[in-house]
Amino acid sequence: MNDCDAAFDVLVIGAGIGGLTAAALLQERGFRVLCLEQSRHPGGSCSSFRREGYTFDAGASVFYGFAENGRSGTLNLHTRVFRRLGVEVPSVPDLVQIHYHLPGGLDIRAHFHRDRFLGELTEAFPHEAEGIGRFYRELESVYDILSALPAGSLEDPRHLLSVGASHPLKTGALALKTLRSMGRAARRHVSDPELLRFFDIEAYAWALQDATATPLVNAGICLADRHHGGINYPLGGSGSIPEALVEGFGKFGGRIRYGARVERILTEGGRAVGVRLADGSELCARAVISNATIWDTFNSLLDDSRLRVEESRFIEAPSWFQLYLGVEGRCVPEGTEVHHVQVDGWEGYQRPGGTLYCSVPSLLDPSLAPEGHHVVHAFVTDRAERWKGLERGSEGYRRRKQEMASELVARLERLMPGIGGAVKVKVSASPLTHERWLARRHGSYGPLLKPGRNILLKPQNRTPVKSLFAVGDSTFPGQGVIAVTYSGVSCASLVASRLGRPLRPLE
Ligand SMILES: Cc1cc2nc3c(=O)[nH]c(=O)nc-3n(C[C@H](O)[C@H](O)[C@H](O)COP(=O)(O)OP(=O)(O)OC[C@H]3O[C@@H](n4cnc5c(N)ncnc54)[C@H](O)[C@@H]3O)c2cc1C
């Protein structure tokens, strides 16, 4: 190995939100950290890009974790991490998490104000009023437990002992809840099939699985915290979050190398000792953290076939076809909400293209678009295999992208009549774009647990290779910016403990 004189304490592969959070917290604690990012930008799926005066969110637009409401624990993690790093991300409240447009004219908005949300839902299903109340109260009870527990690593015995000792009842209750699914809980309270469909889409909207396949604990965070910490939008776009993490990391002396693709994790005697980059250079460190997906880490970056992740272990979530539009403001009706989920028929909502997602974040931050204009981000699930044989840049590839874009614009007419004639800028991204941009196998949203499996079976931060740790949406608790922030915090806590200088709890 060369470059060992410049040894680091920790090398982080990838500057997604998971990797950046871990890197910045470890650097702040006094470790020497180098982050290696294959692209030219930080943030991965949570980043922004600019085209002709419009700023687009590449992926995420709905953000938890910004509240300052005095609650302790796993929630409001952006606020706590930014405070620890001494950086700020101004944000604005986003008062409707999602406006659902569903078959049979079912039209529900998930308001920040819980009573308004429950009121709308009860109005649509008056005969289930009691069950609706009981179900969402059950989610609240999960939230109450989680928000009281401090964030840390479930693999760190010291953390577990201290949480168990200070909150014995809550820890026990939480352990029981991890055995349950959102769908099973819902069925104990309500029976109307259409309402159960609504709960399915409440789960699918962020977990890409129906309610039965979604762990109750995940649901308890997402569907309750929106009424407490709420949803906020970072001014300047989603890229403001990674930019702040990069700033905080840099303030304490951390370094990021862009255009640095890690090709191999180097091991000696079963222990990770460094990485080899695509240019052939090698770097070593006491610990390596991978922000790549579990498949990319174990089936590509490591050389040991015994560590391969079997195909049958997880469900591979689909990838995305995404459309980014700069549009004239006239096509966005007065009173339009920012985030939408549209399902035209229940039969195919989980199939590629079945559910349409759309965000118009310039309604919250007008600086994202020229005056009198908006940015519209519309996307549907898609699979890389459906693009097989269509080489990037080929005529066939271009045609397929155009067809998909036109289809999405036509579907958007239901939300924004006249949008087809109001488009000024159009950018589209296929699963192949997603795969290349983020170095993610098949451009997948990540691994999903098989229905009925305990959420604690998600990979944690420790791996079978000594000194190699994992972070990001392949690890507990899963997909979503606040979830990967949690994984970054827990990974940093574990690595810091292992390297002999534990993190101080986030306040
Ligand atoms: C279309 C879409 C919409 C979404 N909407 C929301 C939303 O509204 N709210 C929400 O909370 N979440 C949303 N998400 C999910 C959320 O964005 C992700 O779960 C989260 O950002 C993933 O973060 P991560 O750090 O795990 O991985 P990534 O964002 O994938 O980051 C990993 C980084 O590692 C780099 N990398 C990988 N391999 C290597 C290598 N070998 N060498 C060097 N660098 C490497 C990649 O380039 C990338 O920058 C959305 C995602 C998508 C795609």
Q: Which CATH code is given to the segment(s) 318-443?
A: 3.30.519
Return the pLDDT at 149: 78
Q: Which two tokens stand for residue 243?
A: 């930019």
- Specify the ligand 1 atom closest to the Cα of 446: 19
Distance 261 CA to ligand 1 centre (A): 16
Q: What pTM does this model have?
A: 0.96
356 SS3 class: strand
Q: Is the CB of residue 467 less than 8 Å from the CB of residue 272? A: yes
pLDDT (0 to 100) of residue 319: 98
Give per-residue pLDDT as tens, 15-59: 999 999 999 999 999 999 999 999 999 999 999 999 999 999 999
Q: How far apart are the C-alpha atoms of 293 and 319, rounded to whole Å?
A: 13
Picking from 124-133, 143-152, 196-205, which range would have the lowest pLDDT averaged per residue? 143-152
Residue 19 CA to residue 48 CA, distance in Å, equals: 17
The string of pLDDT tens digits covering residues 164-201 is: 778 877 777 777 777 789 999 999 999 999 999 999 99
CA of 132 to the centre of ligand 1 (A): 34
CA 46 / ligand 1 centre spacing (Å): 6
> C-alpha dihedral over 188, 201, 434, 293, to 10 degrees?
-10
**How do the residues of the chain divide into helix, strand and coil, expressed in percent and rounded to 5?**
40, 20, 35
Q: Residue type for 320, please? A: W
- What is the percent of the chain with per-residue pLDDT over 70, rounded to a whole number? 98
Cβ(39) – ligand 1 distance below 6 Å: yes
Region of 14 please: left (phi>0), alpha (psi -120 to 50) or beta.
Answer: left
DSSP tally for the chain: helices H, then strands E: 14, 20
What's the average model confidence in pLDDT over 318-347? Answer: 97
| Average confidence score pLDDT of the chain | 94
Which mutation among 232, 340, 481, 489 tests ligand 1's pocket best, with the greatest number of atoms within 8 A of CB? 481
Q: What is the pLDDT of residues 398-444, one digit of tens each?
A: 999 999 999 999 999 999 999 999 999 999 999 999 999 999 999 99
Tokens 């990979």 found at: 459
For residue 479 and ligand 1, the question of a CB distance below 6 A is answered with yes
pLDDT at 267 > cutoff 80? yes
pLDDT for the residue 72:
54
- Provide the pLDDT confidence category of residue 491 given band limits of 50, 70 and 90: very high
* Whole-number CA gyration radius for the chain: 22
Candidate from 123-132, 340-349, 386-395 with smallest mean pLDDT: 386-395
Distance 484 CA to ligand 1 centre (A): 9
In sign, the C-alpha dihedral spanning 491, 14, 478, 462 is negative
Which helix (H) or strand (E) element contains residue 158? helix 157-166
443 lines ligand 1 (CB under 6 A): no
- Does domain 4-47+77-87+234-314+449-498 sit in CATH 3.30.110.30? no
Q: Residue 321, Cβ neighbours under 10 Å: how many?
A: 28
The answer on pLDDT for 5 being more than 90 is no
CA distances from 233 to 51, 90, 114 (A): 20, 9, 19
C-alpha span between 203 and 222 (Å, rounded): 9
Structure confidence by residue, pLDDT tens digits, 438-484: 999 999 999 999 988 888 788 999 999 999 999 999 999 999 999 99
Q: Quick one: which atom of ligand 1 is closest to the CA of 296?
A: 38
Q: Pinpoint the alpha helices (H) of 265-341.
A: 294-296
pLDDT recorded at residue 293: 98
Q: What does the buried/exposed string (b/e) look like for 137-151 if buried means 16 or more CB atoms within 10 Å of the residue's CB? A: ebbbebbbbbbbbbb
Nearest CA to ligand 1 atom 31: 16
Helix (H) or strand (E) holding 242: helix 240-251
Residue 125: exposed, middle, or buried by beta-carbon count in 10 A (0-12, 13-18, 19+)? middle
Is a pLDDT exceeding 80 seen at residue 493? yes
- Is the model's pLDDT at 3 over the cut of 70? no
Q: Is the CB of 36 under 6 A from ligand 1?
A: yes
- Report domain extents, the chain: 4-47+77-87+234-314+449-498, 117-225, 318-443
